[in-house]
Chain A
Amino acid sequence: MTTQPYLKFEQVGMSFRRGQMATEVLRDVNLRIEQGEFVSLIGHSGCGKSTLLNILGGLLKSTSGEVFLEGKVVDDPGPDRAIVFQNHSLLPWLTVYGNIAIAVDKVFGSSKSKAERHDWVMHNLELVQMAQAKDKRPHEVSGGMKQRVGIARALAMQPKVLLMDEPFGALDALTRAHLQDSVMEIHARLGNTVMMITHDVDEAVLLSDRVVMMTNGPAATIGEILPVDLPRPRRRLELATDAEYARCRAAVLEFLYARHRVPARAA
């Protein structure tokens, strides 16, 4: 292990310019994430969480500061930072299998044989329990299943960091709980580094090793980082009465609703 962190945000800032108006969305974001860590980003709507994730994903270029992954500057999108999009972003004309294969064929086209790629697609479908629906098209499966495929597509790229942008935001509570359990199980098995955006306090505490809380924009930054010191595997039923869980939950709620409530719209 090196002393250099696996993933590092250094003085990251972002301003959007529209004509004469410049809006500063992020300022001086500094964050270090170790390999295998599960980190959640939580904050009110519009605080720049997605912007930060998109900078790490390479879809946006920060206006100041840098992001380093394994010591290398991140400046373009790539499969080593696969993204699970909020609205799954599956290609509707491809089957479930095809949606994963398009990524696998591109990323491993030169390093794996055709048969190996097929096995790898099926392996990832099995990981999210979607192998039986491989020939269905996205519109033929439920919202939760679509998001499972989105997760499988991202995992299939073997990313160094898995980015999840409110992955369960569009799902009903029961489906969300199911998928959260799946994600925890996969994280336990594969030990991947994950950065997830969420609005949901319970989700953040349940899944994360650390919860990164963002202040309100404009010029949002990291307000506080809460380590969640709960043993894994975590089970939601047991945690409901756990004192440490309650304490973490209270700490996040306190940050979001007492110290950084959404400023009055009239201001």
Chain B
Amino acid sequence: MPATARAASVAAATPVPETSAEIVTFRPPVRPALERALEMARHVASVVLPPLIVLSITLFVWQLLCSEPGARLPPPTKVVADAWDFIADPFYDNGGIDKGAFWQISKSLGRVAIGFSLAAVVGIALGVLVGQSTWAMRGLDPIFQVLRTVPPLAWLPLSLAGFRHADPSALFVIFITSIWPIIINTSVGVRNIPQDYRNVAAVIRLSWWEVFYKITLPATVPYIFTGLRIGVGLSWLAIVAAEMLIGGVGIGFFIWDAWNSSRISDIIVALVYIGIVGFLLDKLIATIGHFVSHGVSAQ
């Protein structure tokens, strides 16, 4: 019970005077369209300009530093010139592993999609179990806490030994990397469901299953999506590293291959692509989460 003693309201029993003032509706002044357009433009500029300026300065400094003869890394202009084939046509396919950026990235993304989806399903299920059962938590939590600190690539030799094939091993690395934040966040979410919601469920006598899908899941959605966001970021990190070792098509091995053939400019372009894709993956999950945690309802 909150200790808000409302002693003040006890003494407040004086009669309320009748209101007699005339009620006038307040109309906010309508601003002209030009002024609103200007304000919009100013807002957009304040968001877009700072990153543009910083980016230009970075490119300029980079260009200066790497322009002198004997520089080890190419300046931006040389990167674009060297890697122009790779930038201009992302869809070429010369057979083998000599494919355009689109195919390389799609292959990596496909692996992430499978490994991450598996991790999401298993992770949410385990997270709910750990969150709901004190026994499961005491038993599993120490194991999770230890295993989650193992670096993704450290799993690769073991999974190669187990699966004997490169592809399932890569999927396993993604799975095992991204599952921990999903489990941990889901279980925290389940444990943090307010007692109020449980009381409501008890009063209307929801069954175990109804509590799960009408209360537990929707109440945990924001936590689950925090876990998924961290997980998708980690799995993207892991796949690029894992692909360097397993070879074949994929943006990770593309980088390793470029290094072996001294195509430094291709590496730089690939890094930019990886960054952009990782950023988009994060935004994608965040957007779905925003949509789902707001729209899981009404039925």
Interface residues of A (CB under 8 A from B): 44-46, 49-50, 57-59, 77-79, 81-83, 85-87, 89, 91, 93-95, 97-98, 102-103, 106-107, 137, 157, 169, 173, 199-202, 237, 240-241, 249, 253
Contacts and interface: CB of A to CB of B under 8 A. Distances in A.
Given A77-B199, A157-B203, 9 more contacts: A46-B3, A59-B199, A89-B199, A93-B218, A93-B219, A93-B297, A106-B204, A237-B15, A241-B15
Contact of B298 (A46, A79, A86, A94): A94
B214 A102 contact: yes
A249 B13 contact: yes
Contacts of A241: 15
Contact of B203 (A79, A93, A169, A201): A79
B6 A45 contact: no
Interface in B1-49: 1-6, 9-10, 12-16
B68 interface: no
A58 B210 CA distance: 20
Contact of A240 (B9, B13, B204, B210): B13
Contacts of A107: 204-205
A145 to B, nearest CB: 18
A135 B296 CA distance: 14
B10 to A, nearest CB: 5
Contacts of A103: 200, 204
Nearest to B199: A59
Given A45-B3, A50-B1, A98-B298, A240 B200 contact: no
12 contacts: A45-B1, A59-B202, A77-B203, A77-B205, A83-B203, A85-B196, A89-B196, A89-B197, A103-B200, A106-B204, A199-B4, A240-B13
A45 B6 CA distance: 10
Interface string B206-240: 10001000110011010000000000000000000
B117 interface: no
Interface string B179-201: 00000000000000010110110
B67 interface: no
A169 B3 CA distance: 11
A89 B204 contact: no
> Would you list the 10 A-B pairs with minimal beta carbon distance, nearest first?
A89-B196, A77-B202, A93-B218, A45-B3, A240-B15, A103-B204, A106-B204, A77-B203, A50-B1, A94-B297
